[in-house]
Structure 1
Amino acid sequence: MKQRILAILLLSIYHLTASGQKKPDEINFVRQGVQRMIFEENQSIPLARLEPANIIGISAMHPAQHRLKNRSDITIDKNRLVLTSKEKSETAIWFGGFNPFATYTIDLDALSGEGEIGFEFAGNGEQVLMTVNVKDNVLNDVQFKTSLAAAKSIMVKQQEPVNIRGKIILQMLGSGLVLYHHSTGLPKVIGQVDFDMNMDLRAKDRIHTFQSNLFVRLTNGQAIINRADMALTTGMGLADIRPITCENGDPYLDQGRLWYTMSIRGRALPHHIQGVFSMNPTVFDVKLEGIILFDRNDGLLRNEVASHIFYDRRTATWRGITTGFSAYANPGKEKKQLLAVESKRDPRFGFSVMNAAPFGVVGDIEDPHILYDQAAKKWRILTCVNQDGYKAVVLESDHWNKGYNQVAGPVKHNSTGTSITKINGRYYCFSGSSEREIFIYTYPDLKEAGTLKMDLPPWDSTANTRVWPNVVQMPEGYPFRFVSLMMDRYNYPGMKGPNWTYGAIYLYHGY
């Protein structure tokens, strides 16, 4: 009996040792699920709402301003807000504060006659007006106007007439916007514009003082509105997926969930928003938890993305590195660079702001992953530098937020979504690429160590393959030892001009 127990123990030790020696290129990743989040209502984080069914005392809850001599009649009928006017009228109905990174939605039952409906953002004598021009429920135009400029059409032409009944979705993106209409199928892009930076809506004084109004202009017509909402949303695509970690690179497991930063996609490079999501790694329940903005102490809140956020347990501080894509909102005036970010407050939930500062890593550099290497007593960043295409490099410093020098790389392969992961007690570097492979490198010297095995990668023969690997090793007790959450690079249809609006998210378990 003793010999049998000893044999079992020796066999268990052998298997544990063999398992511990498994290399990343020997792990088999099997796809578990895929989903594309498109303005998911059950994921929205509410900021404000105008809900006619629950209004008692509309003059106090949602006061109206009548801008012309003729005043529209405002009533609530069958749980709908009804505005009626036989002559030209302009009405602004208050329903919330202002957030230039939120999604605004009007659920429109009908607009008969001639008129416009949309949103007004106003304060301190300034105004921004975003409306759709409608005649008997058919879309004629999309108009954008500010205090500094006359109204202009920003309509994206449609192949067929658009019956405007349904949802009008305004995705505010800091330095621009996209307007959608949704009745059935995918929401359709019907308008888009970049803002005049002479009236920067990211300015903190405007965020603090502007109000959001439901705006209706009628010319012998009637508008019937089911509700209006202002919320933080998933947008129509997610990308740049990276686990939130501890300072040494270990995944930050909290409440039984992994935590991720993802870029909530907008349109072009300066229009994305840094989202925070969580997921129980044993299932596929990805959940929007909040968004993070970044304050460089210049009066603006910036929507940087492709961040790596970590919790520094030694100082009880949330820190990280982000990529300064907001520089593209002011081309020629600002430089793209990496930024060091920090917050004492937990930034994972709701609407959060982290302090941000340059630290000397300037240029076409992106996708940073930072960790503190306890053995080397060094801070190290794995990132991508555009040197005849993006290539992975390792930077090193004695300090988390200054004094970095390049110590490895560039690698020869195209690189994207660079990350450092501990596999069976040893750090490895991972990178997506344009070569239909996810490359594995040794740490910290970036020697090639194989490629990732996947049964169904997040691309096909027609798709761009520069994805983010995000391999995480789970503690003992999970039904699998590795999990990876990746995205594809299929852009959202209907955008005009530069378009970085991918993608769907893919879950893999590694065995």
Structure 2
Amino acid sequence: MCEGVQRLVFDPQQAILLAKLDPANIVGFTAMHPQTVYSQDTAVVAIDKDLLKVKSGQQTETAIWLGGCNPFATYTMQVADLKGTGAIGFEFTDAQNTERFQVFTKFAAGRFTDVILKITRNNAVVLEKSISTNPLPVPSKNSELILQLFGSGLNFLVKDTGLPVNVAQANFNQTLDLRQQEVLHTFQARLLFLLNDGEVSIRNAQSAITTGLGQADIRVITHKDGSPYLDRGRLWYTLSIRGRALDHHLQGVFSLSPSAFDLKLEGIIVFDRQDGLLRNEISSHIFYDDDEKVWRGFTTGFSFAANPKTEKKQIWAIESKTDPRFGFSIMKAKPTNIIGDIEDSHIIYDAAVKKWHMLTCENQNGYKAIILESNKWDGAYKRIAGPVKENSTGTSMQRIGNKWYCFSGSAERKIFIYTYPNLQPAGTLNMDLPPWDAKAGTRVWPNIVTLPDGYPVKYVALMMDRYNYPSLQGPNWTYGALYLYHGSDKPGLKNTR
């Protein structure tokens, strides 16, 4: 039974603050937010009636320090007023200002006119181009600029009323890869003002970990036996925070009270393959190994899409001695023998046979569920069941009563149930309001969780729909809204054999 639905689009109540410029609460402005002047002339910068005002009658370029640079964060600026001619935006630089990454929107006569990406390497401009993809809305007194970074690409949006409109996008890792660990450790984030007889008023600005455009790939965090990791009375999930295409998403961590729909963003995780880059992989299953006191799991290497000529898609084994659920976390990643077009992995340790079993999807004329087996959690793995006949996605294993079952979304407008570990057909899931309609895709993640005694329901399922976010160009996997279901043994399982 469906209990509720919500879509989190840069939800300000969910944002995890990294840095902030709040003119109404600044004392000692030059110390809190020092300026860098790149031009011969200097703009006038002041705090006036809770606004940051930057004004110049000459051609000036001024940057005002916001905080550290996190290449997987969202940067926002609320614009109260624009006068004259110029540009405003964000820049990310090293301490010597020899490496500069700038994204800014030009304006003239009170209107935004273009969005520019400019990259400087070793004091030389190596890229400067328009990245606009849609007409820019006319700014108002409540316009907000939103720069969504994901290491190898960006979205630039403008919000006034209603949903933010994506007005520019770019991929840039071939020129300057912000996923380099050096960027996280040495770059700074600044507000950028390029004025030519212009004036800008800013209400506030910040960098934060956000919910992005949508959420998908929902997987409960578990113990190694497959039981849900309940902590503080809450379920814990990995959800992908959506940006645009394959390499533009982030691995988010959310929590949820099983008897409510109070989904809360807790943090994001990136992955270190020991190659100097921080990877924004997704479709992860994380489990806590109570015996070894360590967090482990698997993630799908979607970041290969940033360098498809030199990297292959594969499943990576991930591990962390530190709890990765909160804030900004980095998990170590190492390769497995699971290489190819495989995704959506879910693992349990089956104590009855003393084996690790992984349910996953392999592209064999369409994604199909298979089960792999290993003596060790991190491999090597070999196939023991599958592929199934039906299209598969979001595969997961769950105990229903005293038996384990395998669940899979599909393109066939059904959620399929299979036996464990043989993957024989066992029925389909009976749902009153599935997370799709006649226009929506149906390759959702079933994500069914069995709760212990003491909760008002026996089963909880958090699923997503596959409606993409409007106004983006090109490849676009920005679904979806989130649907909460409560379930019971009957009539939840419908026998279709």
2:4 corresponds to 1:33: yes
CA contact (8 A) 2:271 2:330 kept: yes
| Contact kept in structure 2, 1:139 and 1:164, CA below 8 Å | no
1:227-306 alignment, distance < 5 Å: 227-306=204-283
2:66 is aligned to: 95
Unaligned ranges ≥5, structure 2:
489-497
1:184 matched to 2:155 = no
Measure the CA separation in 1 of the matches of 2:144 and 2:307: 32
Q: Distance in 2 between matches of 1:501 and 1:414?
A: 21
SS of residue paired to 1:283: coil
Deviation at 1:173, TM superposition (A): 1.1
Show structure 1 runs of 4+ deviating over 6 A: none
Letter in 2 for 1:355: K
Q: 1:138 aligns with which of 97, 102, 111?
A: 111
The TM-score, its normalising length taken from structure 2, stands at 0.96
Taking the aligned partners of 1:265 and 1:141, their CA distance within structure 2 comes to 25
Work out the number of aligned pairs and report it: 481
Q: Secondary structure at the match of 1:147?
A: strand
Residue of structure 2 in register with 1:5 after alignment:
none
Match of 2:187 in 1: 210
**What is the distance in 1 between the residues matched to 2:53 and 2:473?**
34
Residue pair 1:134, 1:164 contacting (<8 A) in 2 also:
no
2:330 alignment partner, SS class = strand
1:43 aligns with 2:14: yes
How far apart, CA to CA, are the structure 1 residues paired with 2:241 and 2:215?
5
Q: CA deviation at 1:477?
A: 1.4
* Aligned AA (1:70): D
Secondary structure of 1:422's aligned partner: strand
Aligned counterpart in structure 2 of residue 69 of structure 1, from 15, 33, 40? 40
Letter in structure 2 aligned against 1:292: I
- Distance in 2 between the 1:98 and 1:46 partners? 13
Structure 2 SS opposite 1:459: coil
- The residue correspondences of 1:52-451 to structure 2 (distance < 5 A) are 52-123=23-94, 124=96, 125-148=98-121, 149-158=126-135, 161-163=137-139, 165=141, 166-451=143-428
Question: Is the aligned partner of 1:480 residue 2:453?
Answer: no
Cα shift at 1:139: 1.1
Structure 2 CA distance, aligned partners of 1:469 and 1:324?
A: 22
Provide the rounded CA distance (Å) in 1 between the counterparts of 2:410 and 2:14.
31
| SS of equivalent residue, structure 1 residue 197 | coil
User: Deviations 1:372-404 (Å, cap 9, x if unpaired)?
Assistant: 000010001000000000000000000011211
Q: CA deviation at 1:196?
A: 3.1
Q: Once the 2 structures are TM-superposed, how far is the Cα of residue 198 of structure 1 from its aligned partner?
A: 4.2
Distance (Å, rounded) in 1 between the aligned partners of 2:51 and 2:399: 56
Q: Give the match's secondary structure for 1:497.
A: coil
Are the aligned partners of 1:275 and 1:292 in contact in 2 as well (CA < 8 Å)? yes
Residue 328 of structure 1 aligns to a residue in which SS? helix
Deviation at 1:332, TM superposition (A): 1.0
| DSSP 3-state at the match of 2:183 | helix
Counterpart of 2:204, as a letter, is: R
**Corresponding residue number in structure 1 for 2:441:** 464
What is the CA distance between 1:172 and its match in structure 2? 0.4
8 Å contact from structure 2 (residues 134, 166) kept in 1:
no
Displacement of 1:164 = 6.0
Residues 309-340 of structure 1: CA distance to partner in whole angstroms, max 9, x if unpaired? 00011101100000000000001110000000
How far, CA to CA, are the matches of 1:403 and 1:75 in structure 2? 62
SS of alignment partner, residue 58 of structure 2: coil
1:105 corresponds to which letter in structure 2?
T
The CA RMSD over aligned residues, in Å, is 0.9
Runs of 5+ consecutive residues of structure 1 not aligned to the other structure: 1-29
Deviations 1:25-80, CA, capped at 9 Å, x for gaps: xxxxx000000001011100000001111111111110001111110001100010
State whether residues 251 and 270 of structure 2, in contact with CA within 8 Å, keep that contact through their aligned partners in structure 1.
Answer: yes
Alpha-carbon distance in 1 for matches of 2:390, 2:127: 49
CA distance in 2, matches of 1:447, 1:371: 19
Give the TM-score, by structure 1 length: 0.93
| Aligned residues with identical type, % of pairs | 56
Alignment-mate amino acid for residue 78 of structure 2 = D
